[in-house]
Structure 1
Amino acid sequence: MTSIYDFSIDKPDGTKQSMQDYEGNVIIVVNTASKCGFTDQFKELQQLYEDYHEQGLVVLGFPSDNFNNQEFDSMNETLSFCERNYGVTFPMYQKVDVKGDQASPLFSFLASQKKGLLTEGIKWNFTKFLIDRKGNVVERFAPQTSPEKMRSSIDKIIQ
């Protein structure tokens, strides 16, 4: 796979969606967890989505249970939690593994395109990847980086 558009992802209902559906958009891909210390980032991710959506930004959330079992077992619980507590309206997808032998091919690709501080792999929940309108992974943001701090990077590529 050579482009983010080569991947298909699983919707909450189990149907497949091509990442090519997002071609031409600025994309934030983030691995989420409902019971993580960074869960409040849902608020800021939602705010970015609302502020930039009309300009072509999409936020794609992928629940993951790879780090201390911080995600609900049921996808319905996850979706309900995100909507009820954080007003999430951006697309959420099926739970994925983001590390190890079972890692989602999408996340393996993203991590290979932009390495983290000490490792290529995903180290924790709420690792965020910013992708330009041509599908290039332009920046990776650490879990502890507030989504609000992504604004300047978004502004550079949203035009």
Structure 2
Amino acid sequence: MDSSFTLEDVETIGISCPMLKSFTFTNSQTYIVDFSEHAVAIGKTMPNLCHLRLFKLRIENKGLEAILDGCPILESLHLLQCSDFHLQGGLGKRCYDQIKDLILDSYSSESEIDQADYYWDDDNDSSYSRYDIGNYDPFSVFPGDLSDDYVSDPDFY
């Protein structure tokens, strides 16, 4: 992992910004890095998070479970080009039941959703719709509540 962004940094952000609503981390390395403990820290320190986007990271089930446990109002979760989470059984159902806007894109050959891009949206009648990851911009704002006007709202931060 980029040595400039540590586990302690994630914890400090969460503790210092208790009203944080949106968090995005894009791994700039050319390889997938372990983010499981960082995900646990997100769950422990960011209870008001509504939107979370993680890109090109290794996240084990314990990290995903910690996020779901610790971020009860999380509406949007995008795990893009991430690996090592397994959605068999209760964890998969919990993700789909708890998160309104769920995008999973896994690099792991062991993941239940292997090398496939799926998009979950409660407003969509079908359970899964194809999502074109090739057009995905990890730096774009989240859909829904976050618009350019919303970011200028002083209560946002």
- Alignment TM-score > 0.5, same fold: no
Structure ranking higher on relative contact order (CA contacts 8 Å, 6+ apart): 1
Under a length normalisation based on structure 2, what TM-score does the superposition of the two structures give?
0.30
